[in-house]
Amino acid sequence: MAPEHRAPADMGLGNALPGSASAGGIQSLEASMADNVESGSTIVAASAAAAARAANRFGMGLFAFLAAAAAAAAAAKKVNREAPRAANVFFSPPSLLSTLGLLASAATEGSAAAVELDAVAGLRLTDDETAAAVFGEGGRSARPGSLHAVMSPDNDAGVALHYTSGVWLRGGIDATYSQRVAALYGATAAALTTAAPINAAVAAATDGAITDLVANIRPDDVAVLVNVITFRGTWTTPFDPAATRVGTFYAAAGSRGGVPASFMHLQLPVQGSALVAVPPSAECPGLTLVELPYGEGGAFVADFILPDSRRRGRMAAVAAAMPAAWDSWVAALMSSTGSGSGNGGDRGNRHFAGGRADLSLPRFRLVDGVTDVIPALQAAGVTTIFTGAPGGAFRRMTLDPQAAVTVFVYKAALEVTEAGTTAATAAAAVVSRCVPPPRRPVVFDRPFGVVLRHRPTGAVLFTGVVADPQLVF
């Protein structure tokens, strides 16, 4: 029997979504997974560059789904005349991928769950060598050449990037599982008791930015797998606080007249910046890309994407186009970075002679509630981990043949100021024993229908409606 999926206490985008509103995101996720399966392109012992490409493809498909879901949720509130909720989306693809990796390390070899986890991002995460090549012990003492090692900002005083993983386990968990995830992800292991120690560890790892990630722990929960990523970067060229001025931000929801905002100002170009204008196409509205670097080396950047109009739905259309367009946008940014030529590729940057512009960027903070990613992962074809599998989906962690993921959530925070950026995210997957849900009462206490039939042939012998029967005889 399939387990009951538990909604987070503070639901973010989750399940209450019209299917059509997120169709573009579903198609992006399905296409990505189909490409991986049909071409046999799951990567074993991936290089850092190959791992980054695979993770980006997974992340952009997921982003399109979540952005469409957020827009649909905001539109539904408007239709129902509820208080509007802005369609914010902010998450970390590597964090969700790391959490999937913690699950892949538990997946039964050769099972449907293992196949789906390997295919969803095109990385064979159930293979220990591949997981080590991608995650390299989670950044603690990253394996040379792994994606996390290549991304390490150790020599840049202006950037800090930290990965943390933890697993909380009940008795009966295979000891080799905790040893495996410690070696591959740098994950610490602890006994699973209540949600309090988990939430405290997440809050400590994020300096208080992420709290209350896990709502509760139930008696049938056997494991909670958590990944945290934090980033702190100072701009290579900071904004001057004295130049910050109050202006108007036209939010997707709320007052049509806009809301007050503090706009930071910077004259471009600056060291390492890039500026590209992307003309409209059949798939995507026109937009402007602005890239600003962090730290001394400029290895880490922020890319800001501005639709060419305030018209409602423009950003949602851009988000839907991102999975297919992202690589070309990055190529245009890279061709214009530091050149000062204003070329920005074949068609980019044409409205910005020499990359010159007066940039106005709001100082802002995002702290969203807990978001359920099970619908997005199911749309991508990852289903067996949520329903269990014959013989058990997670036999490398627990011998319980019906263990399944009942919660998969994330929470994220972002702050952008004149000095730089801080970002944090935490993702959690809860694995539970498959306990039959409570029996639903079925009480025939109102008019009902009745049919008498011959099962082998389907022939109906009698049929009727019982509306006012003789009840006492």
Return the pLDDT at 256.
Answer: 62
Question: What is the 8-class DSSP label of residue 94?
Answer: H
Task: Pick the range with the lowest mean pLDDT from 148-152, 306-310, 350-354, 451-455.
Answer: 350-354
Q: Which helix (H) or strand (E) holds 315?
A: helix 314-336
Q: Which helix (H) or strand (E) holds 424?
A: strand 420-432
436: which residues sit within 8 A by CB, 6+ positions away?
A: 1
Strand partners, 225: 167, 429
pLDDT of 61 higher than 70: yes
Q: Which has the higher per-residue pLDDT, 14 or 108? A: 108
pLDDT of 221 higher than 70: yes
Estimate the crossing angle of helix 128-135 against helix 93-104, to 10 degrees.
150
User: Considering just the CA atoms, what is the radius of gyration of the chain in Å?
Assistant: 25
Percent of the chain with pLDDT over 90: 47
The 10 Å Cβ neighbour count of residue 387 is: 18
Percent of the chain with pLDDT over 70: 79
Q: What dihedral do alpha carbons 425, 431, 436, 438 form, nearest 10°?
A: -30
Q: What dihedral do alpha carbons 143, 163, 394, 410 form, nearest 10°?
A: -150
Strands 460-466 and 259-268: unpaired
pLDDT of 38 higher than 70: no
Cα–Cα distance, 307 to 317 (Å, whole number): 9
Q: How far is CA 397 from the centre of its chain?
A: 24
Return the pLDDT at 470.
Answer: 80
pLDDT of 215 higher than 80: yes
Q: Which has the higher per-residue pLDDT, 393 or 20? A: 393
Return the pLDDT at 122.
Answer: 86
Return the pLDDT at 105.
Answer: 95
Computed over every residue of the chain, the mean pLDDT equals 81
Nearest one of 164, 161, 162, 136 to 149, comparing CA atoms:
136
Q: What is the largest CA-CA distance in the chain?
A: 95
Return the pLDDT at 230.
Answer: 95
Return the pLDDT at 365.
Answer: 93
Cα–Cα distance, 280 to 210 (Å, whole number): 38
Q: What is the pLDDT of residues 315-351, one digit of tens each?
A: 888 989 999 999 999 999 988 865 433 333 333 334 4
Nearest one of 425, 379, 418, 307 to 32, comparing CA atoms:
379
The 10 Å Cβ neighbour count of residue 45 is: 15
184: which residues sit within 8 A by CB, 6+ positions away?
A: 101, 105, 128, 131, 132, 135, 137, 138
Return the pLDDT at 80.
Answer: 52
Return the pLDDT at 401.
Answer: 84
Return the pLDDT at 180.
Answer: 92
Return the pLDDT at 354.
Answer: 60
Per DSSP, the three-state class of 109 is: coil
Q: What is the pLDDT of residues 416-431, one digit of tens each?
A: 999 999 999 999 999 9
Nearest one of 140, 67, 68, 144 to 98, comparing CA atoms:
140
Return the pLDDT at 3.
Answer: 59
Averaged pLDDT, 435-441: 68
Return the pLDDT at 391.
Answer: 80
Cα–Cα distance, 96 to 103 (Å, whole number): 11
pLDDT of 44 higher than 80: no
Q: Which has the higher per-residue pLDDT, 360 or 4? A: 360
Q: What is the pLDDT of residues 88-116, one digit of tens each?
A: 889 999 999 999 999 999 999 999 999 99
Return the pLDDT at 343.
Answer: 36
pLDDT of 31 higher than 50: no
pLDDT band at 208 (very low <50, low <70, confident <90, very high): very high
